[in-house]
Structure 1
């Protein structure tokens, strides 16, 4: 048993070393060779498996189609002209990561025990009733709308804007220092008499937010806090609107309006003067020490340094600092909608919604 575990660890370690090596040093011909070799390996593995014949056929077809798509991506990403070294690096990393996609297909079939897939016969197709079609009409319509959203989100303009902004970020060092001014902290101190802190959950429509929504499947993908009811002291971790470096920055409600159906939800959470002062002091410290937007943290859920965070991680950390958190979750796993959906004890009070 120990030998088996040891062998498995060795295989996993070797695989990760190979993936990292390909990500850094792989050429287009090497990527193509690996995609095809892995597809052939998985096809042979499937052919010798105990899956029903129909399932084997579907899996083999999926591996072949996937190999073609992988090669097309590599041709358009690995060898393509990039805006900067950062976009080139992330493209190669992604090209290396998708080498393992065939394993994901096999795992889906095995884990979900989907061994009864089959193509319907002509007779079965002919007996589909109008009632069934009508029942599925809403689901089909929703799926088509989803495909349209994906097409819009992954448009050339959106991807170009997102990738062009990558070079401004850092997930290893502080790049934002002192973006919050003395005037900002004066306003924050003036709000101490207000017995609430305000959570601002927004659906901004920025390119990055739209792409994130594809993975979170949530409409609202940004979280901020404000010390005053008029929202003059909104802050969060963001991209700096190309004015300030990504990290801890002040925000304005008007800046959330990046698409026609953008909207903002405002909630308030009861707090004491001491709790609010504690958060303000911490914000001062972060502003002085430096910060950066943890772009990689959205995926790997880890911060290299304490002040490198993403928006919802920052908001949760501030609430936890003042003993105001009302749900238990690792800060790196917190998403903007969690502040609403995990409010089981109704600690938040809904204030209003802003529609542009």
Structure 2
């Protein structure tokens, strides 16, 4: 059971890494190997099943035809050469989608087999449930497909891939970005014995891609020392203005899509605890920081001040002994701060919906 949980937890991240590898590779070989392995797995499963020999022969022929078409299309069309970077990337996404074609054929055969193995009466009742289930699954896939189409748009992929070279996973890039004026504002907030946790649905390219794996609308979390968010900070990519790492944020920069929104919660924090956190933020600012882009997938940080947004917020709360649920900081998602508030430590403050306020 424990192995199954680990498998379920890590599979999305492994698939994400495979997807990134296949999108960025310039070689035909990985696709050829994956197509062949997929065909071999399906053929082995088919011939060990209890299907009739005639069915096995027909499906085997179909799988081999699909494999041949995959190899030919990939070699002659997708990797024909002479394409721009963007066209080549779109072609590779098409090549990735072709991996699932034989599995889809196998799934339809499975549904057909289920239908035939039951009596007329049983089949009638099961067919209805099956159709309902297939409809719901189809509707879910349609929604996900539409969402993934938007998230993996040409502009989003282009921006993400261009941003990758700006990051470092071993050294601090961002240093002394927070000014003395910022820390003066933090000191002014000490009379307000609250910290403010801000979760946001921004529509940034990175946020949209992350949402495909988290299935959450809100994929960024920030920390503020004041209710008006003058002192809001988090780990981010720097918006091409500052280097990736710990940065002060502007709420207006969160408005990157038509339904962008921000929700603000307050957490009780005595003056001494807030001062402790301000001092810690100052220390990180002086020592340096970097955004943990790789850690989003691997859940590993090579140095203490290399973090992503939710990792930072949780560690800061933990440092001041203000955390209200327990987990490894690298596993925390932005929505966990709300969803795992079992003891109701947070209080809702307000929500900003940019399409209504601007």
TM-score, normalised by the number of residues in structure 2? 0.73
CA distance in 2, matches of 1:43, 1:339: 42
CA distance in 2, matches of 1:73, 1:209: 31
For residues 268-293 of structure 1, what are the alpha-carbon distances to aligned partners after superposition, in whole Å with 9 as ceiling and x for unaligned? 00011111111111111111111111
Q: Structure 1 residues 254-263 or 142-151, which shifts more?
A: 142-151
Note the C-alpha offset of 1:28: 2.5
For residues 22-79 of structure 1, what are the alpha-carbon distances to aligned partners after superposition, in whole Å with 9 as ceiling and x for unaligned? 99xx872433442344245424533553565689988997898699779978986997
2:182 equivalent to 1:184: yes
CA distance in 2, matches of 1:278, 1:58: 66
Structure 1 SS opposite 2:252: helix
RMSD: 4.3
Note the C-alpha offset of 1:140: 5.4
Q: How many residues align?
A: 315
**Would the alpha carbon gap of residues 52 and 148 (structure 1) be closer, same or farther in structure 2, given more than 3 Å must change?**
same
Counterpart of 2:27? 28
Of the three residues 241, 249, 259, the one matched with 1:251 is 249
**Would the alpha carbon gap of residues 247 and 157 (structure 1) be closer, same or farther in structure 2, given more than 3 Å must change?**
same
Flag structure 2 segments of 5+ consecutive residues without an equivalent. 1-17
CA distance in 2, matches of 1:82, 1:268: 46
Q: Structure 1 residues 289-298 or 30-39, which shifts more?
A: 30-39
Of the three residues 216, 219, 237, the one matched with 1:218 is 216
Flag structure 1 segments of 5+ consecutive residues without an equivalent. 1-18, 110-114
Structure 2 SS opposite 1:327: coil
Counterpart of 1:9? none
Q: Give matches, 1:252-271, under 5 Å.
A: 252-271=250-269
**Would the alpha carbon gap of residues 30 and 128 (structure 1) be closer, same or farther in structure 2, given more than 3 Å must change?**
closer
Counterpart of 2:300? 302
CA distance in 2, matches of 1:70, 1:350: 55
TM-score, normalised by the number of residues in structure 1? 0.73
Of the three residues 219, 224, 227, the one matched with 2:225 is 227
Query: In the alignment, is the contact (CA less than 8 A) between 1:195 and 1:272 conserved in 2?
Result: yes
CA distance in 2, matches of 1:252, 1:216: 25
2:240 equivalent to 1:242: yes
Note the C-alpha offset of 1:154: 1.5
Query: In the alignment, is the contact (CA less than 8 A) between 1:55 and 1:118 conserved in 2?
Result: no
**Would the alpha carbon gap of residues 29 and 147 (structure 1) be closer, same or farther in structure 2, given more than 3 Å must change?**
closer
Counterpart of 1:162? 160
Q: Give matches, 1:3-22, under 5 Å.
A: none
